[in-house]
Amino acid sequence: MTSADPSRRDFLLTSAAGLAIAAAPSPVKAAPSDRIRVGFIGLNGMGTGRLNGFMKHPDVAAAAVCDLDKNHLARAAALVEKTQGQKPAEFSDFRKLIEMKDLDAIMVATPDHWHALPFIYGCQAGKDVFVEKPLSYSIGEGRAMFNAARRHNRVSQMGNHIHNDLPNYRRVVELVRAGSLGKINRVYCSINTGAKGLGKPPDSAPPPELDYDFWLGPAPKRPYNPNRSHFTYRYFWDYSGGYFIDFWCHYTDVAYWALDLQAPKTISATGGRWVADDNAETPDVMEVIYQFPNNILLSWTLHPNGRPGFEHMGSCVIFEGTEATLVTNYSKHEVWVRNKLAEDFPRPAPSIPDSPGHIREFLDAIKSRQKTTCDVEYCHRLNKGGLLGNLAFRHNAVLEWDDQRERITNHSKADKMVTRKYRKPWKLG
């Protein structure tokens, strides 16, 4: 992946815009006794973005920071001191941060394979948890995270900020639910990856600033390679599920929300790493098809150029109705009738209240003890679809899913990957 990748560039711009849109905090600081003390785990890339986003709120104190890379840790601590005038506690072991008695919440922005354990340990320690997307590396982890949050009565929010920081999805959901598009049987999700490859650097010794064995954690032991850590970890199966799972929740969220999708019955996928010439593993070209109850087909196109049609909308979601077709990206949507743009298409009155912002919603929920819109229950349901798509791809099979038992019923090898086997001494739950 290069800095010129259009989808990544657009995503980062939208992320920045979303964080700016979130409710602007008052310049007056809250009294120390009224401030929410947050510990931050994982401080590269999006982790730093979240740290900045939280500190914009006057009732937040960034009390602690944690990272396995000493450079990331030092940078984050300096940022907190500059912004808040006081140094945070610093940790390399997230368990020590979670042990802090005076923390109210934690924010987890680690690589995907490290989302579950900090979340679960945080819940067990009485902390509320904001965790980055995707919710979990595996379906079994997502279930364990859901159980921990419910058992310990914790507030949770997954970092799916397009859901709340931009109003567009709300208007799409209202329009779909109004029935104006007619009956919807097909939904298409398409993402333009612009993938150009990561290169093929040789294996090497880990950099001295990184605790690589701890970074691997529950994942298998592998030789260090520059492409297998930090941002590009997501293109290796040991740690994530590639571009597909990286963006799954941002685009599929609007379909799950609008159509109240639960779980697919069957899932099939095909493709490969056909464009890039590098040492990464996850596909850069993939087609995934889901059959949901109520006769709804949802398809995903992952390709450097996206799906043909509606190119002017870039990466997008298309709802095909019997009366009209709606196409949406993060920030805008269009309705088409008989291949013509219907600029005067009737719109329902707004019925979904605007959000105070994704982070603000989480902070308010800590105080009110109310559920957030992207809590662990909703996001486990959402995340399962993406994880099942990758399992169908990896096993080259049409999978049949029993959501009641959370089991793949027709493929024993795929079913064994519903929950990963952890490397000792780490255990799930």
How do the domains of the chain map onto residue ranges? 6-164+361-376, 167-352+382-416
The pLDDT confidence band at residue 11, using thresholds 50, 70 and 90, is very low
Question: Tokens for 158?
Answer: 């997954």
Q: What is the pLDDT of residues 118-164, one digit of tens each?
A: 999 999 999 999 999 999 999 999 999 999 999 999 999 999 999 99
Rounded-to-integer distance, Cα 165 and Cα 14, Å: 9
Rounded-to-integer distance, Cα 151 and Cα 331, Å: 37
What pLDDT score was predicted for residue 130? 98
Q: What is the pLDDT of residues 289-306, one digit of tens each?
A: 999 998 999 999 999 999
Rounded-to-integer distance, Cα 389 and Cα 301, Å: 12
Q: What is the pLDDT of residues 335-372, one digit of tens each?
A: 999 999 999 999 999 999 999 999 999 999 999 999 99
Q: What is the pLDDT of residues 380-421, one digit of tens each?
A: 999 999 999 999 999 999 999 999 999 999 999 999 999 999
Q: Decide if pLDDT at 10 tops 50.
A: no
What is the chain's length? 429
What pLDDT score was predicted for residue 203? 97
What pLDDT score was predicted for residue 196? 80
Q: How far apart are the first and last CA of the chain?
A: 34
Indicate yes or no: pTM above 0.85: yes
Question: Tokens for 351?
Answer: 């019925």
CATH topology of domain 6-164+361-376: Rossmann fold (3.40.50)
DSSP string, 246-275: HHHHHHHHHHHHHHT----SEEEEEEES-S
Contact at 8 Å (CB) between 138 and 387?
A: yes
Task: State CA 359 to chain mean position distance.
Answer: 14
Question: Tokens for 197?
Answer: 């490859």
Q: Decide if pLDDT at 3 tops 70.
A: no
Contact at 8 Å (CB) between 91 and 97?
A: yes
Alpha carbons within 13 A on the beta-carbon side of 406? 16
Please compute the mean of the pLDDT values over residues 310-338 and round it to a whole number.
97
Contact at 8 Å (CB) between 246 and 234?
A: yes
Residue with tokens 């889901």: 290
Rounded-to-integer distance, Cα 130 and Cα 77, Å: 19
Contact at 8 Å (CB) between 227 and 201?
A: yes
What pLDDT score was predicted for residue 429? 66
The pLDDT confidence band at residue 13, using thresholds 50, 70 and 90, is very low
Contact at 8 Å (CB) between 103 and 64?
A: yes
The crossing angle, in degrees rounded to 10, of helices 139-151 and 376-395 is: 170
DSSP 8-state symbol, 68: S
- Options 3.30.360.10, 3.40.50.970, 1.10.3720.10, 3.40.225.10; CATH for 167-352+382-416 is 3.30.360.10
Q: Residue 134, preceding bond cis, omega within 30 degrees?
A: yes
The pLDDT confidence band at residue 34, using thresholds 50, 70 and 90, is confident
SS3 assignment, position 318: strand
Please compute the mean of the pLDDT values over residues 23-40 and round it to a whole number.
67
Contact at 8 Å (CB) between 129 and 154?
A: yes
What pLDDT score was predicted for residue 33? 61
Q: Of 358, 376, 374, give the one whose Cα is nearest residue 119.
A: 376
The pLDDT confidence band at residue 194, using thresholds 50, 70 and 90, is confident
Percentage of the chain beyond pLDDT 90 is 90
